[in-house]
Every structure is written in structure tokens, then in C-alpha cells.
Chains A and B, each alone.
Chain A
């Protein structure tokens, strides 16, 4: 499935300063019953966002209209737990293009990169600065530059670099995915498969 190319994103951000946000919170298992990839954003953080009677929980950040934007900022070990790519789909479908945290779970990070979300890992100290900047001003702008591999709090100019491998960076910049790459080297794969004992 194609996704938006990613270069430079300047946006306000939605803060979620909770550690160990697991993918069961991002999208509970009972919403995984679709056979198509659509509508998952409606159930993003379902049980933190809505009461049992589907009324919105007023104290949850996605129900607070002052926080908007394409960047989600989460506490450390974001995306742990289940491998469900639906978690990344829900975040993308809701409108986020970038998730910032001081630590990501591996499978979630991979899933993000595969669906066109940029995971930006920053230091604990910088994450704290971002939370403070948003707390001070909900309209605080962040700028995420994929070419420069930097994230900047525009109000203060504070900046930090982040890691991404060159291959994935190229994919996100151009909107390619791994399947395109793998199709292009199919002859190599076929040859390799012939050598496998099982």
C-alpha cells in the first residue's frame, strides 16, 4: 500500500507522556477483525479515548481540542507488545506521520517504517524538553527533517539528531517499500532457495 513521501514535517504535536504504551492500547484486539486496511484511526487508543458507552473520556489527550498535529510524542518504550501492524495503521489513519519517543519497541518501529510513519528516537532529556514545550504552548511547532535527520523545537531552536539507516531513509523519502526491492532481486532469492536443506 502506498504512503505519503516524507521529507520535512513542521507541525504541532500531541503529547502522551506515558511509558510502555503497548499496541493493545494503541488498537485493542477486538478491532483487529477487518480483512481490509481502513478505518483503524477511529479506534486509535479506543479504551483510553472512550468510555464503555462510547462517550469520549474528556481527560484523554486526543479528546482535548487544543492538541492537534501530525506528530505524536510518547513516553519511553513506545509500541511494545503485539506485532499487530494495525497499531501503525491506526496511527497513520488518524493522521499522524511521525512518532517521537525516547525508546521504541523493535517490531513497532519496523511496522512504522513499512507504512510510512517516521519513528524519531530522541534522548530522555530532549523528550522531556518537547513535553515541556508543548505543556507551555499547545501550539508549539516541531520540525522533523528527514534529510538532515534532526528534530527541532522551533520556539527555542533546541535541536537533536536521530538515527535511521540509509536504505529506510531512501524508501521514506521516495515512497518505496521493501516489496519493490525484493521483487527486483527475485533471481538471487530463487538461487538461494535452491540451496536450503528444508
Chain B
């Protein structure tokens, strides 16, 4: 074993290389594989066509989330295409002996919410899923990233994929976060500084006091959006916060296995003197509540700022103009006070209990603005249960909000939760691409606090004025 100092990423990666191919990728062993209804059917079809079996079915976990309705889940799914995909997932899971949490299963929810909350996601693992937000699981000190359907077929048939080793980046944020500045603001700020392509080719380690002091929910929000600056994934070194989160969860190791695991997990940190290909350092005090104004997640600014000019951003003029034109915005306009038609809180980015606590902290004692349609979508049934148990449900109801059922919902609008063309939505999800939340929909990405402030005022509002 090499004695030279290693990064967290190198330690986990090296522990999973089955074979290195000269002038080619590494064959990487995958510990955990999540599948959902949208990107897995063609992979199973491929297995059948080649006459292959699932090599380690106990390492794959299926949950339905992408196209599921968020109301009346006890009734048959109306859209025949969605129903067909859900059925295919169920049948394939059954046929190959894979655990399946379908609609109405109490464990059902968004794949990147249910993996961690059930103790399937653990430090030091390699984790993949046919979904780019698999980077979420990196919050536990795992190497986790999204893959295509061909790769889903590879993992099913051989428990491996073939990947070139990523370059290493470290992003440090130190200092004290200001009032109403949440993990979502931290990552939107980082992406705005690096741009939507700034970390392409890299695996990112987040370090510094801001991440050390962050909850697991917050770290998941940050790692989740690593892909929005092009990174293959993001990681945070496991610590007491990580262990406390995992301990006692359904599928987490117990007894002797726990002690053994802890001994290994404690080695999972970047050694002193380890080298990164690129490093960034930001100051927490520079970050204010963020909001996006354009059509990629790098187009974000502090909520009190004005939309920058093309020259200020350095973006190509044609692309920048196209983006602002789609949004119906102009250079140098203020974001505060802009009309908001829809508010969406949920998704694998901000669909965890902490996010609903934050939302409720502003909504409490206020009323939903009449002009706003709000979709409140928990990330899983377990989150939904917590919302009820903690009294958040009552706060929401009194303020005129309705709680929906878990799923990806308006984040990608594969179900009926679509923002109408031309309407503005403040969303806690991860992408503001053209049409992402429905054809013609205009998305402003923000934190649960900014979403709540918009929901009660009907306009883009600084949450610091309501806390």
C-alpha cells in the first residue's frame, strides 16, 4: 500500500478498483446500486436480450419516485405510460429478487432520500444510480455518482462499471454563515462562483468549518448539487455527525459490525499534505440568501442583488440573451419584488425534514398569498410522518397550505405537477433549465426559507425580513 498522503476520494476509489486498464478506465466495484422506474427498464431489457442475470441482487434497491403522482397514491396511476414504467420496475425487481419500495410502501420516497434514511448509504461505499443527483450520498463520505442506462445494465450484470478516474478538487468554506443563509445558499453560491461547468471532470471534497458544522441533511443538499457545476460527485469526510445520523437506522450495521465499520470509517479523511488538482476557498460571510435568475444553476445571485450584465458574467452573449429572454428578465433588474406564481418545496435537494422545519419557521402565524399556488412535497413517507409528528403539518394547514405525497414531483415534472408556461416558480429543487418544471415554466432556484418568504408574500422576498 502506498505511504504517500491520500485524499478521501483516493482512499475510497482505490479500495474499489477491481482492475486498471492501461490507457483506459478503471473497473470499479459498486457496493450499492439504486434503481427507479425511468432509467432501469431498458437496462433490464438489455439483460434479457443478452441472456444475463443480476449478479448480486441484494446490492440493488428499487424505489418508485420519478413519475409518481403526489396525490391519491392509493388509486391506480392514471397516466398509462407512467403506470407501465412502475409495473416494469415492480416486475423486474420481483423477477430478479431485488428489494422494491413501490407506491404505498411505507419506505417509498425519492431514491436519494430513502437510501440515507434507511441506513443503506454508508461511508466509504461506492454508490451509483441512473440519476445524476446520486451525488447526494457523497455527504456520508461515499463515492456516489449518476450513471446512464448502459451503466445500469453493467452494474446489474457485473456489479461493476468502467470509469476513468476523476481529477480532485477541494472547496473550503470557513467562517460563520449569516442569518437565513442555509446549505442551499452555500451550494448555489459556490456554483455561481465556479459556473455550471466549473467542476466538470472533478470529484469535489467539501471541507472547512461550514461543512463540519452542517447537519447531514445540509451536507446532502450541498453534495446533491455538485453535478450542477459539472462535478462527477461531491463528498464530505464522515465525522460524529455522520455516525450519529446512521446509528440505529434500519439497514445500518449493528453490534460488532458497527464497531468494525467505525474503525474503518475513522480512516476516511484526507491526509495532511495530500494533493488536489484544484482548490477553492470561500468565506462564509460573503454568502447571502441566494436566488437564480437564469436557465442554468450557475446563474445565481444574492437575493438583494441585481441581475448582472453579460459583460459582468463573461458568458457568451447569444446564450445569455436567450436565457434572460426565456425568463422574461433584463440585465440590471432587481430580483426582490418580482412576482411569484408558484412555490415548490421538495425534491432530493430540499425534501428532508430540516427543509420543512425551515419552511414552517417563516410560514408559522402567516397566510399563504392568494396569488400563489404552493406544492409542498415531502421526500419520503418517513419525512411525511415526521412532518405530522412535529406539528409542522398543523402549521402548514393553518397557513393555507396542503401537504402532498412523496415523489420527485415538480422538480422534473414527469407527473402532473407541471408549472404552466410563462409562470414563475420559486423552487427548492436543483435545476432551472428551460422547461424543466413544465414546457415554458420559469424556475427561480432558492432555499426553503426563500421559498417560504415567496409563498406568504407572493413576490421574491428576503427571508431575513421575516425571521
Interface residues of A, Cβ cutoff 8 Å to B: 1, 17-20, 22, 24-25, 28-30, 32-37, 47, 52, 75-77, 80-86, 88, 103-107, 110-111, 114-115, 165-168, 177-179, 181-183, 185-186, 188-189, 192-193, 196-198
Interchain CB contact (< 8 A) of A35 among B19, B41, B132: B41
A107/B148 contact (C-beta < 8 A), A80-B230, A186-B158 known: yes
Given A85-B39, A165-B23, A189-B160: A18 in contact with B319 (beta carbons within 8 A): yes
The 7 residue pairs across chains A and B that have the minimum distance between CB atoms: A167-B24, A85-B148, A166-B23, A83-B146, A33-B81, A35-B41, A182-B158
Contacts of B163 in A (CB 8 A): 110
Query: How big is chain B's contact interface, by range?
Result: 35 or more
Chain B residues in 8 Å Cβ range of A114: 148, 150-151
Of the candidates B39, B50, B197, B440, the one having the most CB atoms from chain A within 10 angstroms of its own CB is B197
- Among the listed B67, B196, B197, B435, which residue makes an inter-chain contact with A24, where contact means beta carbons less than 8 Å apart? B435
Which residues of B are found within 8 Å of A189, using beta-carbon distances?
18, 27, 29, 55, 158-160
Q: Do A33 and B150 have beta carbons less than 8 Å apart?
A: no
Q: Does more than half of chain B's interface fall in helix, strand or loop, or is it mixed? A: loop
How many angstroms between the C-alpha atoms of A179 and B22 in the bound complex? 18
Select which of A18, A104, A185, A198 is within 8 A of B18 by beta carbon: A185
CB–CB A35/B318 < 8 A: no
| Contacting residue for A36 out of B21, B42, B261, B435, CB 8 A | B42
CB neighbours (8 Å) of A1 from chain B are 46, 49
Extra pairs beyond A37-B42, A182-B27 (18, CB < 8 Å): A24-B431, A24-B434, A29-B412, A33-B38, A76-B316, A80-B196, A82-B412, A106-B166, A106-B201, A110-B147, A110-B148, A167-B25, A167-B162, A168-B24, A179-B158, A183-B52, A192-B29, A197-B261
A198 and B151 alpha carbons, distance in the complex (Å): 21
Q: Is the CB of B38 within 8 A of A193?
A: no
B368 at the interface (CB under 8 A from A): no
Are A196 and B29 interface neighbours, CB within 8 A?
Answer: yes
| Chain A hits for B81, CB < 8 A | 33-34
Contact A82-B319, Cβ < 8 Å, known A24-B436, A33-B85, A182-B154: no
Contact assessment for B84 and A165 in the assembled complex, using a CB-CB cutoff below 8 Å? no
Task: Check B6 for interface membership: any CB of A closer than 8 A.
Answer: no
B68 touches A (CB below 8 Å): no
From A18, A33, A197, B67 is in contact (CB under 8 Å) with A33
Q: Is the CB of A24 within 8 A of B433?
A: yes
- B439: interface (CB < 8 Å): yes
A115: contacting residue among B88, B150, B197, CB under 8 A? B150
Q: Let me know if A83 and B435 touch, CB within 8 A.
A: no
Q: Does B237 contact A (CB under 8 A)?
A: no
* Contact partners of B159 in chain A: CB under 8 A: 189, 193
Residues of A within 8 A of B316 (CB): 19, 75-76
Q: Is B260 an interface residue (CB 8 A)?
A: yes
Known: A25-B434, A35-B84. A85 touches B150 (CB 8 A): yes
Q: Residue on B with the closest CB to A191? A: B18
Nearest Cβ in chain A — how far from B6, in angstroms?
19
Decide yes or no whether B264 CB sits under 8 A from chain A: yes
- The answer to whether the Cβ of B352 comes within 8 Å of any Cβ in the partner chain is no
A83 in contact with B200 (CB, 8 Å): no
Are the CB atoms of B151 and A110 closer together than 8 Å?
yes
Q: Are B42 and A193 in contact (CB under 8 A)?
A: no
- Nearest chain-A residue to B145 (Cβ)? A107
Q: Separation in Å of the B100 CB from the closest CB of chain A?
A: 16
B62-100 residues at the A interface, CB under 8 angstroms: 66-67, 79, 81-82, 84-85, 88
Given known A20-B197, A28-B435, contact A193–B24 (CB-CB < 8 A) = no
B164 touches A (CB below 8 Å): yes
- Residues A47 and B435 in contact, CB atoms below 8 Å apart: yes
**In whole angstroms, what is the CA distance A111 to B436 when docked?**
21
B148–A197 contact, CB under 8 A?
A: no
Q: Is the CB of B149 within 8 A of A85?
A: yes
Decide if B392 is an interface residue (CB 8 Å cutoff). Answer: no
Residues of B within 8 A of A24 (CB): 412, 431, 433-436
